[in-house]
Amino acid sequence: LADDGYRLWLKYDQLPDAGQRKVALRNTRFIAVPTNASATLQAAARELQTGLQGLLGQAVPVGGEARGKGGIVLAVAPDPALGREGYRVAVQDGNIRISAATDVGVLYGSFALLRHVQTGQPLAGVSLSSQPKIQYRLLNHWDNPNGTVERGYAGSSIWKWQELPEVLDPRYQDYARANASIGINGAVLNNVNASPRLLTAEYLRKVAALANVMRPYGIRVYLSVFWAAPKVLGGLPTADPLDPQVQRWWTAKINEIYQAVPDFGGFVVKANSEGEPGPQDYGRTHADGANMLAEALGQHDGIVMWRAFVYKAGPNGDRFKQAYEEFQPLDGQFDPKVLVQVKNGPIDFQSREPFHPLFGKMPRTPLVLEVQLTQEYLGFATHLVYLGPLIKECLEADTYAKGPGSTVAKVVDGSLEQHRISGIAGVANIGSDRNWTGHPVGQANWYAFGRLAWDYTLTAKAIAQEWTQMTLTRDPAAVPTIVQLLDQSRSIYVRYTTPLGLHHIMGQTLHYGPEPWLAKSARPDWTAVYYHRADAEGLGFDRTAQGSNALSLYYPPVQQQWGTMATCPLNYLLWFHHVPWDYKLSTGRTLWNELTTRYYTGADSVQWMQKQWAQVQPAVDPALHADVTARLRVQQREALWWRDACVLYFQTVARRPLPPGLPPPT
């Protein structure tokens, strides 16, 4: 049977090594769950049963009590060392004991044990223990009630609103299983450009039906909020957060939500951003708006994630600075239930951005890190780009907020400032396509996000290896070849699209393909020339004190490193400097020669990717292999498109020949 990708990494195909299966079978003779087990524990037992039966080729009975030795025992027992969601898997009294302080911890431990077996590790003497570093680990779906998905490239929305609440697509449960297996514990169901419809009684019933499916898997549902809902739904003349009628409307609405969904997680808000209404329409601040919602949540256990993705149009401003300028002064003014949600970089999910300057600069506010798994600017579902390295790069960036080692990860997990709550959000790449993510390797990005949200100390490579073994193949020769391909893919994409810190030069309407020549648009900061600033002298956006001075938003050690052309890492160079075409870089090449060389070597590397993938053909499912092969062909063609478009365009400005050895564009 051809693999259609539906099972994701929860494949549970039989382990190839008979010896290994035999040993595993001796340790998994039964699964014991406490009597009166909750839906969560039952889900854990069911998953272990299905998984082990598939992996080991033999049925494993589930029962109420341990039947002697050589089985798996699920146990809920207080263990302060594990926190609310942590787990321990250890051999005790001849059984493998999966224990946690809560049912959901046991579920996470069960998935960890399955992963252990799936990736071919020995069961004898197994000992695993882990707990999440970040508390709220959420997917943000940009799904609309009409079934479309903003920036979605994998079909339509998986939520079939019209059929809900009566019809429960089995996919909802598989979605929940997949998320629980990597520790994701929340789903924001709808687009940040929110339809007010989601807050109507009609839709809340549908939301509740989804919440019921997800609850046993430890996943809470959240909603994005349309700020002017009190007007459009409530008929009020205003949505001013300081207006008592508005406050009463939200309090009542929130009570209604919690009636339907008792464990509702809370709200994401995009306000006064890209034309969305917000508190500023009434002369109020983001803090006024967020705090009003937090207040209306009252005793309910919910949070408000207020997005900082704001920027005002202006020919002389620098979009890089605008979120900082609006939000940084509000630090300390937010209610304890509010987190401010900040994209990884200051512009908008480009293939490489410096970390957002708000990280480390709002010490009194918990900040949610928002990354984008859907590849809006990274080749949609046709380019193979593994995002593990991108997410890691941001998490590991040092803000120097409290001296060296003050990484973005430590800001986000709350440890730097001892925050009570912490969160991370991934904009989902999931749709109704049979394989969920369009590009089969898109699944790796969903997977990597969950794993890093749980434990950001894992390496991108180790996660790629797990995913490959669980999803594609366990062939010992093929695995490292695929892992290397995944691990390099993002830097290759950067090379043939936006090398050396170029950014936002993509096609403006779709955010696809190159359009570096774009000079006119609805707003000055939606053009390419605004960002690359190519002129007879050179290339790049001067963000030093001579230019927009966006660099001043960072702590001094960062300013110092990025502040001169000589010390700025080449990957960020054109983010911060207008560099003369003939300026000699650390590579020994001039800017022009380095730029063109990168475009060429980047495009060439896609051929390397094709070769790597061709090599593993015998080890991978034929249909899946053919699918990725075909997508790589698109990628190869489009890498040349990017290369040629950018090289030829920049050449009209630089007026220099290609360095010797590079063939003319095709």
- Where along the sequence are the contacts to ligand GCU (CB under 6 A)? 150-151, 192-193, 270, 274, 309, 348, 376
Catalytic residue among 288, 376, 487, 638: 376
In the complex, least distance from residue 155 CB atom to ligand GCU, rounded to whole angstroms: 17
In three-state secondary structure terms, 224 is strand
Q: Find residue 320's DSSP bridge partners.
A: none
Catalytic residue among 348, 455, 604, 644: 348
In the complex, least distance from residue 342 CB atom to ligand GCU, rounded to whole angstroms: 11
d(CA 574, CA 650): 14
348 among known catalytic residues: yes
DSSP-derived letter for residue 80 is G
In the complex, least distance from residue 352 CB atom to ligand GCU, rounded to whole angstroms: 17
Within a 10 A sphere around the Cβ of 113, how many other Cβ atoms?
Answer: 24
- Residue by residue, DSSP assigns 351-382 as SS-PPPTTTTT-TTS-EEEEEE-S-TTTTTTT
How many angstroms separate the first and last alpha carbons of the chain?
A: 41
d(CA 103, CA 216): 9
Q: State both tokens at 71.
A: 């089985």
Beta-carbon contacts of residue 255 (< 8 Å; ≥ 6 apart): none
| Amino acid occupying residue 530 | Y
In the complex, least distance from residue 530 CB atom to ligand GCU, rounded to whole angstroms: 15
274 among known catalytic residues: yes
Task: Provide the Cα torsion 76, 79, 84, 88; round to 10°.
Answer: -70
d(CA 165, CA 228): 26
Catalytic residue among 17, 163, 274, 535: 274
In the complex, least distance from residue 135 CB atom to ligand GCU, rounded to whole angstroms: 22
d(CA 398, CA 411): 10
In the complex, least distance from residue 274 CB atom to ligand GCU, rounded to whole angstroms: 6
Q: Find residue 63's DSSP bridge partners.
A: 32
Minimal CA–CA distance to 576: which of 586, 584, 566? 566
Q: State both tokens at 230.
A: 């009190």
| Amino acid occupying residue 298 | G
Give the residue numbers annotated as catalytic, written as ranges.
274, 348, 376
